[in-house]
Amino acid sequence: MRAIIVRTPGGPDALELTDVPEPVPGPGQVRIRVAAAAVNPVDAATRSGVLADAGLMPPFGSRPSVGIGWDVAGTVEAVGPGVARIAAGDEVIGLKDRLDLPTGAYADAIVLDADAVAPAPRSVPAVEAATIPLNALTALQALDLLDLPAGGTLLVTGAAGAVGGYAVELAAHRGLRVVAAASASDEALVRGFGAEMFVPRGEHLGDAVRALVPGGVDGALDAALLSVAALDAVRNGGAFAAVNAGPATPLPLRGTTVHNVWIRANGAQLTHLAALADQGRLTPRVADVLPLSEASKAHERLQAGALRGRLVLTP
């Protein structure tokens, strides 16, 4: 089968389309024929060597090549021993959360653990469904860590981005009062996701949020990695969740409980998210669709920024 791999870290041209053996599902695993794979910043960080340099994956050279791509939507075509709830022919979405594997979702097929897979939304095309796993799971798991009660106030930074947009929708669904921080041009978009209040980029975040919520919000989900600038908007003793911030995670000033969100595959949570998408409570956004052979071009566009939604690759 075809797969996009990286042998030596570098820019978008480090992505190589090559033929590799088709993977065979082992016990508790399924093989998915890929219909669509979303392009995420973590893919670029893997390709460039940033994650290896940070010690989040083994250095390049420890295996001949590294596969790229986390998000997948497709059809199960084979199951390994011990898999009961998923069968060949099922339409699914799934997440590859291991960085150091020889192939990823940028491929004709991928093998995943069955508990990393869920039935695909029935009403959402595969290209859109492929944008759900990584970004919506990140938002969901961050909200679970914050554990705010209904009626509580939540700041979401980067609210117009892929993670931030899902976070606003999921938080509103939980009954939270959301303050969205984004570009001024995105105010209508994030209010449409369910944000009650809005702060445009460029204002002093702590002051602007506290003008809307005296004393500060109960919690913050920092999808834009603004760190202490976002923490300043949280009340004393509140909660803060940074998305994959690593060493940039702020200190727990003023008694704030600080979490660093590290995504994990979870089939049960994916099933819940797929149901929300079918109910119209979760809005996948696709910036553009490119063929697998143009993965390098997709990474160039990701690097250039200014995307609303995810780029998606199709075989």
Domain presence at residue 252: yes
Whole-structure pTM value = 0.95
Tell me how far apart the alpha carbons of residues 302 and 206 are, in angstroms, rounded to a whole number.
29
Considering the domain boundaries, does residue 277 fall inside one? Answer: no
Stretch 160-180: mean pLDDT: 97
Residue 272 lies inside a defined structural domain of this protein: no
Q: What is the pLDDT of residues 218-240, one digit of tens each?
A: 999 999 999 999 999 999 999 99
The average pLDDT across 51-80 equals: 94
Domain identity same for 120 and 40: yes
Same domain, 127 and 183: no
Other CB atoms within a 10 A radius of the CB of residue 258 amount to 20
Are 140 and 255 within one domain?
A: yes
User: Which residues have a Cβ under 8 Å from the Cβ of 75 and sit 6 or more positions away?
Assistant: 32, 33, 35, 89, 90, 91, 92
Same domain? For 143 and 241 the reply is yes
**Please, is 170 exposed, middle or buried when counting C-beta atoms within 10 Å of its C-beta (0-12, 13-18, 19+)?**
buried
Q: Are strands 109-113 and 286-291 parallel, antiparallel or unpaired?
A: unpaired
Which tokens sit at 97?
Answer: 């959360």
For residue 298, what pLDDT is reported?
98
| 211 and 167 in a common domain | yes
Please state which of the ranges 105-114, 187-196, 242-251, 291-300 shows the lowest mean pLDDT. Answer: 242-251
Write down the mean pLDDT value for the chain.
Answer: 96
**Tens of pLDDT, residues 184-204:** 999 999 999 999 999 999 899
pLDDT score, position 245: 64
> 297 and 244 in one domain?
no
State yes or no: pLDDT of 248 exceeds 90.
no
Q: Are strands 177-182 and 117-119 parallel, antiparallel or unpaired?
A: unpaired
Whether 292 is in a domain gets the answer: yes
| Triad 189, 190, 194: Cα angle to 5° | 120
Is residue 233 a part of any domain in this protein? Answer: yes
Res 141 pLDDT > 70: yes
The SS3 call for residue 127 is helix
140 lies in which domain range?
135-261
Q: Do 205 and 164 have their domain in common?
A: yes
pLDDT band at 314 (very low <50, low <70, confident <90, very high): very high
Tell me the CATH number at 226. Answer: 3.40.50.720
pLDDT at 246 over 80: no
Residues 21 and 125 in one domain: yes
196 shares a domain with 140:
yes
CA distance 271 to 60: 34
Is the same domain home to 119 and 74?
yes
Say which CATH number the domain at 91 has: 3.90.180.10
Residue 244 lies in a domain: yes
Distance CA 152, CA 133 (A): 26
* Same domain for 208 and 188: yes
Mean pLDDT computed over 110-124: 97
Print burial letters for 197-225: b (CB count within 10 Å at least 16), e (below 16).
bbbebeeebbebbbebbeebbbbbbbbbb
271 domain-assigned: no
127 lies in the same domain as 15: yes
Domain contains 183: yes
- At 209-219, the pLDDT tens digits run 999 999 999 99
State the Cα–Cα distance between residues 103 and 4, nearest whole angstrom.
7
Q: Are 84 and 7 in contact (CB under 8 A)?
A: no
Domain count, the chain: 2
The answer on pLDDT for 102 being more than 80 is yes
